[in-house]
Amino acid sequence: MEKIGLYLGCNIPLKAPDVEQSFRKVFPVLGIEPVDLPGATCCPAWGTAPSFDRDTWCAISARNITIAEGLGVDIMTGCNSCFGIMSEAKHFLHDKATTERVNARLAEIGRKYQGTSDIYHVMHVLHDKVGCEKIRENLKYSLDGLTIAVQTGCHTLWPSDVYSTCEANPFYPVMLKELCEATGAAAPHYSRLESCCGMGGMRSTDAEKSLVIFRDKLMSMQEEIKPDIIVTACSSCYMQFDMSQPILKERGLIDFEPIPTLYYTQLLALAMGFDSSQVAAISQIDRSAIIKEIQSEKRLMKEVA
């Protein structure tokens, strides 16, 4: 079984451990063994070291990467920000002078960045290493008839020149769409698919402004494809969709019920038959109806070996 370093970040292990649990359940079945990266810290988030000093950012990212290098594995993360930040740091570290300065700092904690571990997003591992065919083979329930609004998130798309893996057209991403379709569900395009959800620095700087663009995006989903579920592969988007829909509803800014939101591996874990109390247990929006629908008897496929 192929081993890969599971880089958790902050939000997933601390706020959304059901997403973490979904990784741990799904990947071994699909032939990938996630390996813990003990002592890994924040990537560091955009609002921390990257906002103060580029070398400090690179040093903290590089420290995380050295943990994987020590285990001889590549890195997989489920958080778009972590993927973006560590990929950009690695991009800066292609410059020899930067690497020398950063390694001087890492020497103080007895580490050295080598550049031997690649950085992948969970979505990349599922799409390119596992593949949609293998996902299909391991389903217990078919999601045929359900409509999914795909939320890829920004930091796997741009700037495409710093990522080792990227979409053929980053303005028209299809990886997550294809992964969703592998479950049997429909995942039609909607016009604002590639646009930002408003989470992150924008929400902490001015939550009201963040809600404006979030609503635009949500309305595009609802008016154009009327989804049963929103599925994302970004932990920040995941939290925005779960937190902010109820706010809009409460203020009367949307006239439909908040749409249940799942991280992709949660959707997959449910479709593979895992226990929802472990893989999809924590949310503000009530997801019990859609979970019940996904794991209903009528959707049972042939017994999974």
Q: Give the residue carrying structure tokens 């990212």.
A: 61
Q: Does 69 bind other proteins (CB under 8 A)?
A: no
| 206/257 with CB nearer other proteins | 206
Minimum distance, C-beta of residue 136 to other proteins, in the bound complex (Å): 26
Q: Does 20 bind other proteins (CB under 8 A)?
A: yes
**Within a 10 A sphere around the Cβ of 15, how many other Cβ atoms?**
13
| 41/288 with CB nearer other proteins | 41
| CA 170 vs CA 126, 240, 263: distances in Å | 18, 22, 20
Q: Does 174 bind other proteins (CB under 8 A)?
A: no
Contacts of 99 (CB under 8 A, 6+ apart): 93, 113, 115
Site residues for other proteins, 222-251, by CB under 8 A, read 224
Q: Does 59 bind other proteins (CB under 8 A)?
A: yes
Minimum distance, C-beta of residue 254 to other proteins, in the bound complex (Å): 18
Window of 108-116, 137-145, 252-260, 283-291 that interacts with other proteins by CB under 8 A: 108-116
| 169/288 with CB nearer other proteins | 169
Site residues for other proteins, 82-101, by CB under 8 A, read 84
Strands 119-121 and 32-36 come out as unpaired
Q: Does 8 bind other proteins (CB under 8 A)?
A: yes
Window of 137-145, 177-185, 204-212, 256-264 that interacts with other proteins by CB under 8 A: 204-212
| 1/109 with CB nearer other proteins | 109
Nearest to 145 by CA among 177, 189, 190, 185: 185
Minimum distance, C-beta of residue 148 to other proteins, in the bound complex (Å): 17
Site residues for other proteins, 144-163, by CB under 8 A, read 154-155, 157-160
Q: Does 129 bind other proteins (CB under 8 A)?
A: no
Residues touching other proteins: how many (CB under 8 A)?
A: 74
Q: What is the secondary structure of 229-260 as a DSSP string?
A: EEEES-HHHHHHHHHHHHHHHHTTS-SSPPPP
Sheet strand arrangement including 119-121 = 32-36, 2-7, 75-77, 119-121
Minimum distance, C-beta of residue 206 to other proteins, in the bound complex (Å): 6
Q: Does 105 bind other proteins (CB under 8 A)?
A: yes
Q: What is the secondary structure of 170-196 as a DSSP string?
A: TTS--HHHHHHHTTT-B----TTTTS-
| 142/220 with CB nearer other proteins | 220
Using CB under 8 A, pick the residue from 41, 114, 164, 288 that binds other proteins: 41
Peptide bond into 170 cis (omega under 30): no
Contacts of 54 (CB under 8 A, 6+ apart): 92
Q: What are the tokens at 258?
A: 């908040």
